[in-house]
Structure 1
Amino acid sequence: MNNPLFYAKILLFGEYGIIEDSQGLTLPYSFYKGTLKFSDLDNDFEKKSNQSLEKYSNYLSELELPSDYQLDVKSFQSDIAKGLFFDSNIPQGYGVGSSGALVAAIFEKYSLIKRNPETISKDELKDLKVIFGRLESYFHGKSSGIDPLICFMNLPILIESKESVDKVSIPKEELGKGAIFLIDSGVTGETGPMIQIFFEKLKNEGFRKTLKEEFIRYNNACIDAFLKKDMNPFFRNLKKLSVWAYEHFRPMIPENLFNVWKKGLDSNAYYLKLCGSGGGGYILGFAKDYAKAEEMLEGFHKEVIYRF
């Protein structure tokens, strides 16, 4: 059974903001991946995954989807009985789309109408995002559908607004001094509680105002400058974004990263931001001189995801 691989995703910009209609920019991340496989289920990981798929298939059997997006749930359940599991090294609770890759893999294999990511139109992307949101909501209570969409498309995606997404080209990587990197906080984050905190904060008019007038403005400016490869305004807005998050997203920043977050802002050697919902998992780092940042962040496990 030769099944395609589904990569993890990284939401470079847009965490929380996309809930309030900011732009977002996401990239596939091939370091982590997953694929559907059959086995005799003779180890705990495979057994657990198979049981999870069975529970999920029950959810799918009761989910009503439009005719163009129907899944062959009976085949899925029959394969689960034959030992189907999701073989994945994507860490859960790290903000890199573990459930997104699973949903994308199931959709690719069991959707009655097959779709080629290369030929999907902007209108279809919009519909797919809605469908994926419904498929993934089983895991998070509520899902925008963005994670599975990126995992399915395996292309960078620009989230233009709540309604509109499009495929996008990002500047070609260069082996320069600069880098975008992940820092492992060493603790798992849970999406649900973090989103709950965010919605509580949204009830405060002052927070809503600063989110719209500052966070979203800096976030969108970062995306615009990054896509144009205009690095001076990019880092200028990135610093403002990092300061804003340090002040307003404190509950989402893992405790062991408070001080290094501030150290980056004070020294301008690197800037940190949330990767996904925060609370644990990965944090994103950006540095014009990665060697210097790496030295200052000694003791933390880091992974470079993009060089410039």
Structure 2
Amino acid sequence: MNNPLFYAKILLFGEYGIIEDSQGLTLPYSFYKGSLKFSDLSTEFEKKSNESLKKYSDYLLNLDVPNGFEINVEDFQKDIAKGLFFESTIPQGYGVGSSGALVAAIFEKYSVEKFPAELISKDQLKSLKVVFGILESYFHGKSSGIDPLICYMNLPILIENKESVDKVSIPAEHIGKGAIFLIDSGSVGETGPMVQIFFEKMKTEGFRKTMKEEFIRYNNACIDAFLKKEMTPFFKNLKSLSVWAYEHFKPMIPESIYKIWKKGLDTNAYYLKLCGSGGGGYILGFTKDYAKAEKMLKGFDKEVIYRF
């Protein structure tokens, strides 16, 4: 069996904003990966994964998928009976797309029509996003389809608005002093409750106004400056975004992170932002001087994901 690997994803910018039509920028993250495999299901993990796939395949049987994007559920179920499971190192509840990689792997293997990533047009991307949203809604109740799309394409994706996405090139890495990195908050986050808090906040006019006039403006400006590699406006808008999140996304920031979030803002040594929905899992860090930031963040597990 051909076992293509599906990588985790990182939403660099756009958490919560993409719900309100802001831009988003997301990249594949090859440190974590998953693939469909066969086994005799001798371990507890393999057994559980196989059972989960069985439940998911039952869900797919009654699913209405747009024409041209059908899944061969019969073949999927035959393989499940032969010991199919999803081997994955992607942590769940960390905001790096564990269900997205699974959905992408199943679609790649069992979609009736094939869609090679390198040949996909912008219109097909739009349609695939819708299909992946339907397929992933089993795991989250409601899904934008972005996570599986990133995992499937294995390319950076610019979310232009709610409807439109496009492939994008990010500036090539080079080993400079600066870095984008992940900090492990030490706890698992659950997407559902965090999104619920966000929608509660959106009921107040003041929050809706600041979301539209400030958050989305800073968020989109960060994406624009990053893609153009204009680091001075990038860090200026990043600080505004981090300040805004500290004030308005407090419930989504894990308690273990409060102090270091503020310390970054006070010293300008680094800036933090949510990675996905927050509540736990990873937090994203940005710095012009990683060696300095690393010393200041002693005691926290960190992973560098991009150097500049």
**After TM superposition, is the score higher than 0.5?**
yes
Q: CA deviation at 1:66?
A: 1.9
Residues 64-213 of structure 1: matches in 2 within 5 Å? Answer: 64-213=64-213
Partners of 2:185 and 2:58 lie apart in 1 by 35
Equivalent residue, structure 1, for 2:259: 259
Q: Which runs of 4+ in 1 moved over 2 A?
A: none
Unmatched runs of 5 consecutive residues or more in structure 2: none
TM superposition shift of 1:206: 0.3
The code of the aligned residue for 2:96 comes to V
Partner amino acid, structure 2, of 1:11: L
The alpha-carbon deviation at position 43 of structure 1 amounts to 0.5
Query: 2:207 and 2:169 mapped to 1: Cα distance?
Result: 33
Aligned to 2:43: 43
| Counterpart position of 2:215 | 215
Q: Deviations over 1:51-90 (max 9, x none)?
A: 1101101110000112200000011011111100000000
Letter of the structure 2 residue corresponding to residue 206 of structure 1: G
Give the alignment of 1:16-35 within 5 angstroms: 16-35=16-35
Counterparts of 1:60 and 1:77, CA distance in 2: 10
Amino acid at match of 1:202: M
CA distance in 1, matches of 2:183, 2:65: 38
Give the C-alpha shift of residue 301 in structure 1.
0.2
Tell me the distance in 2 between the aligned counterparts of 1:222 and 1:39.
Answer: 45
Distance in 2, Cα, partners of 1:66 & 1:134: 10
CA distance in 1, matches of 2:198, 2:80: 37
Structure 1 residue 302 corresponds to structure 2 residue 307: no
SS in 2 for 1:99: helix
Percent pairwise identity: 81
The aligned residue for residue 244 of structure 1 is 244
In structure 1, C-alpha distance between the alignment counterparts of 2:65 and 2:213, rounded to whole Å: 37
- For 2:198 and 2:251, how far apart are their aligned partners in 1? 9
Distance between the aligned counterparts of 2:12 and 2:168, measured in 1? 13
CA distance in 2, matches of 1:64, 1:270: 46
* Cα offset, 1:3, TM superposition: 1.0
Measured after TM superposition, the shift of residue 253 of structure 1 is 0.2
Distance in 2, Cα, partners of 1:285 & 1:228: 20
Cα separation, 2, equivalents of 1:140 and 1:89: 20
- Structure-2 separation of matches of 1:83 and 1:208: 49
What is the match of residue 235 of structure 2? Answer: 235
Q: CA deviation at 1:115?
A: 0.7
> How far apart, CA to CA, are the structure 1 residues paired with 2:31 and 2:160?
26
Opposite residue 37 of structure 1, the aligned amino acid is: K
Deviations 1:131-159 (A, max 9, x none): 00000000000000000000000000000
The amino acid of 1:277's aligned partner reads S
Aligned equivalent of 1:11: 11
* Aligned AA (2:171): P
CA distance in 2, matches of 1:142, 1:165: 18
Q: Per the alignment, in what secondary structure is the counterpart of residue 125 of structure 2?
A: helix
Deviation for aligned residue 1:2: 2.4
- How far has the Cα of 1:207 moved from its partner? 0.2
SS at match of 1:36: strand
1:56 is matched with: 56
Distance 1:289 1:45 in 2: 41
- Report deviation, 1:288: 0.2
* Distance in 1, Cα, partners of 2:15 & 2:176: 27
* Partner amino acid, structure 2, of 1:269: A
Q: Which amino acid in the other structure matches residue 52 of structure 1?
A: S
**TM-score (ref. length: structure 2):** 1.00
Counterpart AA for 1:25 = L
The SS at the match of 1:114 is coil
Partner SS, residue 67 of structure 1: coil
SS in 2 for 1:68: coil
Three-state SS of the structure 1 residue aligned to 2:192 is helix
Distance 1:173 1:65 in 2: 39
Separation in 2, partners of 1:235, 1:194: 27
